[in-house]
Structure 1
Amino acid sequence: MSTPALTRTAETTVPVLDILAERWSPRAFDDATPIDEEKLAAALEAARWAPSANNTQPWRFLVGRRGSDLHARIHDALLGFNQAWAGNAAVLIVALAEEVDAQGTPLSHALYDLGQAVAHLSVQAHADGLVVHQMSGFDRSALQQIAGAEERLVPTTVIALGEFGDVSSLPEALQEREVAPRVRRALDETVLVSA
């Protein structure tokens, strides 16, 4: 299945691009379909071309395909209920922020720029019919060990990526969350000052 069977389009107060209104973060992943390598490459390429301060590109990725030792190690580092569903994703990606450059200079913008790269990855993946879910519940030190000795590369999020799966395969509490209405804070509560 290449697109979610659920209608999850956001009800925006003003029109936005369809690709942005339709993007959502499911937990139900197809546990059998391997990743389409061209779509994965396109998502990573979109991340590569994200804007960054002074073109420093302070992001790196560890890409583990289902069935690989890397996928298993990333999955093992997940915490809580993330382990109940994320292992079904065709790919688990660790997004790392380069918080200090090779010369030891702090990169104060690293997290912001990594966020932009992951947003580009997410939108490209969605445009290609894949689904993405980002997680913050993980053992940072375990992922740091996978990343190697470069302590300046900080695991910041784990991304599950693949084809949408069967909602009924999720634990009951997560099934409810999967189909619950999408809500966001009102725009006038988000924009603090507009003159």
Structure 2
Amino acid sequence: MEKPADTAHPIHDLLKRRWSPRAFSDKPVEPETLCRLWEAARWAPSCFNDQPWYFLVATKQDRADYDRMLGCLNEGNAVWARHAPVLMISVARTTFQHDGGPNRHALHDVGQAVAGLTLQATALGLFVHQMAGFFPEKVRQAYAVPEGFEPVAAIALGYPGDPALLPEKLRQREVAPRSRRPLEDFVFSGQWGRTSPLVSRS
């Protein structure tokens, strides 16, 4: 299912096509394809080139591990994410490697890595749905995540599936039009809340 963005200004087709479905096919994702996604994440920019991103991954080829990661999601996400063939948890190292100091940009940099992964996935016909609805402490315990590392987000990944298989409430959200705030709401100049004159109303 495709839901290209109805943009106010031209953007790259990959950005238009990227969205976060809940309906996934159970078609497996080949290891080589997954490596291409992590390679895209690998080349993300980061503060001091510190590369603070890590990924825990589970596929249905190892059902016990997959179920363990699924158990780290809240119920509202687990009900649909269980159809995705790949689950991941992004993790941030919260201190710099070069001096051990706190890295307040770590979550930002992990987000950039996942953004690269997501665009590469879109280019390959895959879709990514990132989730805040998971239990970081369950992840920490289940996977022995050490101190100094923070679980950031859960990720469902796979090929698109049939929205008709979703519960009705989720199906309605799946087929609803996409929307975003206009540029005027978040591009400021001079002071906070003052819309930049660079933003043209259309």
TM-score range, shorter chain: over 0.9
Alpha-carbon contact 1:144-1:151 (below 8 Å) kept: no
In structure 2, stretches of 5+ residues that fail to align are 190-195, 198-202
Q: After the TM superposition, which residues 1-195 of structure 1 pair with which residues of structure 2 at under 5 Å, given as runs?
A: 4=1, 7-31=2-26, 33-68=27-62, 69-101=64-96, 104-193=100-189, 194=196
Taking every aligned residue pair, what percent have the same amino acid on both sides? 46
Letter in 1 for 2:122: H
Letter in 2 for 1:160: A
Please give the alpha-carbon distance, in whole angstroms, between the structure 2 residues aligned to 1:116 and 1:61: 13
Alpha-carbon contact 2:139-2:145 (below 8 Å) kept: no
- Please report the TM-score for the alignment, with normalisation by the length of structure 2: 0.89
TM superposition shift of 1:71: 1.7
Equivalent pairs counted in the alignment come to 189
Please give the alpha-carbon distance, in whole angstroms, between the structure 2 residues aligned to 1:104 and 1:73: 32
Q: 10-19 or 58-67: which moved more? A: 58-67
**Measured at CA, do residues 118 and 149 of structure 1 come closer, stay the same or move farther in structure 2, by a change above 3 Å?**
closer
RMSD: 1.4
Alpha-carbon contact 2:3-2:178 (below 8 Å) kept: yes
Deviations 1:128-177 (A, max 9, x none): 00011000001110111233241211111011001111111111100000
TM superposition shift of 1:104: 4.0
Please give the alpha-carbon distance, in whole angstroms, between the structure 1 residues aligned to 2:170 and 2:60: 21
**Measured at CA, do residues 159 and 149 of structure 1 come closer, stay the same or move farther in structure 2, by a change above 3 Å?**
closer
Please give the alpha-carbon distance, in whole angstroms, between the structure 2 residues aligned to 1:158 and 1:41: 18
Alpha-carbon contact 2:91-2:152 (below 8 Å) kept: yes
Letter in 2 for 1:84: V
Larger radius of gyration: 2
The DSSP-based 3-state class of the residue aligned with 1:106 is: coil
- Please report the TM-score for the alignment, with normalisation by the length of structure 1: 0.92
Please give the alpha-carbon distance, in whole angstroms, between the structure 1 residues aligned to 2:114 and 2:57: 13
Letter in 1 for 2:65: L
Letter in 1 for 2:24: F
